[in-house]
Structure 1
Amino acid sequence: MESYEKRIRVSENDLDELKHVNNVRYVQWIQDISKEHWETTAPKEMRAGILWVVKKHTIDYFSSAVLGDEILARTFIANTKGALSIRCVEMFNADTNELLVRSQTEWCLLNALTLRPIRISEAIKKAFLKQ
C-alpha cells in the first residue's frame, strides 16, 4: 500500500469546550489528508472528469490531543471494488506515537458530468495500491 503523511499542529481553533481536539475537526482532517493524497499522487490527467464522494465514515477515537500537540496523520487505500475505495486514516501523537484516531472511509468514484458511479481504473489502483 502507498501511504501519505502530514503533520498537524493543534491550535486553539481546533479545541472543544473540554480543551481537546473537537471530533468535527478530526473529520475535517480526515477529508483534508484524503484530498491531498489524491491530488499529490494522481496526475492531473487521471483526475480529469472524475470526483470522489464520501459514502460512509467509521471513526474510532482512542485518545485526546490538546493545544500545541503535533499530530502525525497517515492515510492509505486498504481496498477497492467497483466504484468504491476504502481509505484508512490514522492519527498519532507525533511525540509519543500514541494512536489518537483510526478511520475508514468508503469513497465512491463518480463521473464529474453525470454524477454516476464509475469503476475505479487499473491506473488509479496501480497509483495507490503499490506493493
Structure 2
Amino acid sequence: MSAAAPHHHPITVEPADIDFMGHVNNARYLGWVQDAVIAHWRNLAPAEAVAQHLWVALKHEITYRKPAFLEDEVIATVILEKVQGARAFYETLIRRGEEVLAEVKSSWCCVDAETLRPARIAADIAARFFGDRTSEPSAA
C-alpha cells in the first residue's frame, strides 16, 4: 500500500494556546496532531468501526520550524503512511499558508473501546484510507 491521500484539518489558534513568549506553546502542537488524526479516522472509517475503536499515541517525533501566533490560519495535513496490525503510522504537517510550522512523525495503536486492548484494523477498513473504498465513508 502506498501512502493515503492527505486529510486537511483546520486549526483555530485559541488565546489559551499562547505561552509566555507570545506564540503557540510547543505542547499544543501535539494536541493538534491528535485532533487531526482522530478527525481523519472519524471521517473515513465506518461508523461502527469508529464506535468500536479508540486510538492512543505511542510515539511522536516533532520538528518545529516556525512559531504560530494568535489569529493565524493553521492547517494540519495528516498522511497515513501505513497500517500494521493494530498500529498506524502518520506524518502530519502543520502549516500557515505555504509555511511549514512543524513536521510530526507519529505512531498510534488502535484499541478496542470496550476492553482497551490492542485491536487489529481489518483490511477492508484500512483499504478505505488508501483509496480502495468499497462504500462511502460515514459522516461521523
Partner of 1:35: 38
Shift of 1:18: 0.8
| Alpha-carbon distance, 1:49 to partner | 2.1
**Using the alignment, how far apart are the partners of 1:32 and 1:104 within structure 2?**
15
Regions of 4+ moved over 6 Å: none
Local SS of the residue matching 1:76: strand
Cα deviation for residue 35 of structure 1 reads: 1.1
Q: How does 1:84-99 map to 2 (within 5 A)?
A: 84-94=87-97, 97-99=98-100
Structure 2 residue aligned with 1:120: 121
1:78 aligned onto 2:81:
yes
1:3 aligns with 2:14: no
Provide, for residues 56-94 of structure 1, a one-character-per-residue CA deviation record: whole Å limited to 9, x for no partner.
111111111112211121112111112110022111112
For the aligned residue pairs, the C-alpha RMSD in angstroms reads 1.6
TM-score of the pair, normalised by structure 1: 0.88
Aligned to 1:14: 17
Corresponding position: 1:58 with 2:61: yes
Q: Distance in 1 between matches of 2:35 and 2:24?
A: 16
Give the Cα separation in 2 of the matches to 1:48 and 1:10.
29
> Aligned partners of 1:77 and 1:122: how far apart in 2?
15
State, as a whole percentage, how many aligned pairs show the same letter: 36
**How many Å separate the matches in 1 of 2:74 and 2:52?**
33
Q: Counterpart of 1:48 in 2: which secondary structure?
A: helix
Length-normalised TM-score, structure 2: 0.83
- 2:72 aligned residue (66, 69, 72): 69
Runs of 5+ in structure 2 lacking a partner?
Answer: 133-140
CA distance in 2, matches of 1:51, 1:12: 29
Q: How many residue pairs end up in the alignment?
A: 129
1:111 maps to which residue? Answer: 112
Give the Cα separation in 1 of the matches to 2:126 and 2:68: 33
- Long gaps (5+) in structure 1: none
Distance in 1, Cα, partners of 2:114 & 2:75: 36
Counterpart amino acid of residue 118 in structure 1: A
